[in-house]
Amino acid sequence: MCGIVGYTGPRQAYPVILKGLKRLEYRGYDSSGVALLKDGSISVYKKKGKVADLEESMIGKNIDAQIGIGHTRWATHGEPSDRNAHPHSSSSGKLAMIHNGIIENYAQIKQELQKKGYKFLSDTDTEVLLNFIEDIYLNNDDCSLEEALRIALKRVSGAYCILLIEQDNPDTIIAARKGSPLVIGIGKGEHFLASDASPIIEYTKEVVYVNDYELAIVKPDELILKNLGNEKITPYITKLDMELAAIEKGGYEHFMLKEIFEQPSTIFDCLRGRLDAKEGLIKMSGVDNNIEQLINANRIIILACGTSWHAGLVAEYIIEEICRIPVEVEYASEFRYRNPIVNKGDVIIAISQSGETADTLVALEKAKENGAFIFGVVNAVGSSIARISDAGAYTHAGPEIGVASTKAFTGQLAVLMMIALSIAKHKKTITDDRYSALVLELDQVPEKVQAILKNADELKAVAEKYKNASDFLFLGRGYNFPIALEGALKLKEISYIHAEGYPAAEMKHGPIALVDEKLPVVFIATKDLYHEKIVSNMQEIKARKGKIISIITEGDTATAELSNDYFAIPPADELIAPILTVVPLQLLSYYVGTLKGIDVDKPRNLAKSVTVE
């Protein structure tokens, strides 16, 4: 939530920052702003709306500066408005700051400052923190800004990544992080700072991921890292394994569509080097190196949020089926606040696209304190969740920029399937034949997804027909029940149509009351163990005149005939099917959203990376 960018070096800072903010806009897009420092004076420009609105408002303004900071916001304290947009200026006007995170004890600090006569121009916690820093800075002899920041940060609770500039310090950005990400790109005589690597990749591939409780003093040709105890830390330089093309739209109208269509190759990348269909083998170092821990787990607890939680539900069905290990899937946000029972022999699987979701991160810290072993299934390389995990497997889906998760989800399913197969093989809870058959099936997934995508236009026609519905019901059974939840979530997110996902059999226990001739009911009714049962559920909806849209297996004419509209997918083993059945649902949501004129890459109120609780 919120994207931050900073630059110090020989280039013009504004174009670097603006481009960076556009790349980070998925993190928040209700307002944005920049602060540029030139000749001992800081100019702050900010605007409610998207980064394009800021860009337009900057036409004709003096943007000449070689140091600056910029922010794109997802509101936490204070409504989206020009005055609540970042950067904020301190009371004296000497400092400007941007912030990603939440200062939880801001109200108390604000009161203290108000007693001292401070006035606030915004409703934000950021302005409070900035003036708190300034108050310490100006009222303590010989206190440097860096020292004042350290003192202030020791007092605040909550999460932050901040960038701070000072009018009398013409080339320095001071940064600090706790709980919100910060990457520093190292150029030749220049430095770039950002919430993730996407604004940086164009200029340099050498980056430093700043850790919690670290402070960075960044000048064009110097980067000093310190902890809050003022001790220097040697920056650990990592080489980015990412190309610029991966974060651009590549001719697609939206990132979401590009990411849906990338799935044959992202799933292939995820399997590559791990799954050897010829040999019938899966090799995953994170799993193989920790196999004893995994096969001897008393219990697996999966922690995640949103779409990643749905991937966890699919994994629960698969792991219990083939590994015979009890699995619990928990919303990280609930787990972190209750008093869960976590024992030494428990394995936690954390699933996260961004690797920065605050609830998941804190839940993991809690589980770790209780001695659990943490296995991360993460997409963003080097992210906080990847780093806190004891072991893990990346999903290798590449940067996901559309706010609605698509390719990361199928990557998670592919990785979780490989993990389950590896554990089952070592634990001997799967026969050799079944193992080989599933390895082979998994290997065929990219090709089958490609076949589904070829018929995407069929879903556009379905979307056209139902785009004005006010509600949707998504129903599935077994491995496809979590896909019903995911289908409903996708549609809600990017079309603003109310949608609910249910296990098809549960329908009779309540939701069936919603069914009338206006309600589209999406069935995931591929050929599997539950097929006959779900066909009966379809009959029940038909009898009540609901409109049936179904995802079926190719050649299943009986189910097709029961449906008002259907989309056929290639046959697949029921354990593998969720990776395929979700794709038409992604497309359906995409087309409904775009036909309704919604900016599906930036749907209202959402942000890609939820770094606040």
Q: Which residues bind ligand F6R (CB under 6 A)?
A: 305-308, 352-354, 357, 360, 404-405, 489, 493, 609-610
DSSP letter (8 states) at residue 506: G
Cα torsion angle, 359, 362, 366, 368, sign? positive
The least CB distance from residue 408 to ligand F6R, in Å, is 7
The least CB distance from residue 106 to ligand F6R, in Å, is 24
Distance, in Å, from the CA atom of 399 to the CA atom of 396, rounded to the nearest integer, reads 9
Q: Which two tokens stand for residue 16?
A: 């670097």
Nearer to ligand F6R, 286 or 312 (CB): 312
Is 70 in contact with 33 (CB distance < 8 Å)?
Answer: yes
Q: Is 305 assigned a catalytic role?
A: no
End-to-end Cα spacing for the chain: 10
Which one from 2, 161, 270, 305 is the annotated catalytic residue? 2
* Integer angstrom CA distances of residue 221 from 37, 185, 402, 496, 609: 17, 12, 35, 48, 31
Nearer to ligand F6R, 8 or 389 (CB): 389
The least CB distance from residue 487 to ligand F6R, in Å, is 11
The least CB distance from residue 175 to ligand F6R, in Å, is 23
* Integer angstrom CA distances of residue 613 from 376, 403, 607: 20, 18, 13
Nearer to ligand F6R, 100 or 357 (CB): 357
Q: Which of 379, 381, 333 is nearest to 358 (CA)?
A: 333
Q: Is 2 assigned a catalytic role?
A: yes
The least CB distance from residue 26 to ligand F6R, in Å, is 10
Is 359 in contact with 184 (CB distance < 8 Å)?
Answer: no
The least CB distance from residue 310 to ligand F6R, in Å, is 8
Is 399 in contact with 408 (CB distance < 8 Å)?
Answer: no
The least CB distance from residue 332 to ligand F6R, in Å, is 8
Distance, in Å, from the CA atom of 420 to the CA atom of 297, rounded to the nearest integer, reads 13
Nearer to ligand F6R, 195 or 353 (CB): 353
Sheet holding 95-103, edge to edge: 88-89, 95-103, 158-166, 173-178, 214-219, 222-227, 232-233
Nearer to ligand F6R, 548 or 585 (CB): 585
- The letter for the amino acid at 536 is S
Nearer to ligand F6R, 198 or 308 (CB): 308
Nearer to ligand F6R, 306 or 520 (CB): 306
HSE at residue 608, side-chain half, CA atoms within 13 A, is: 29
DSSP string, 48-85: ES-HHHHHHHTTTS----SEEEEEEE--SSS-SSTTTS
List, by residue number, the catalytic residues.
2, 608
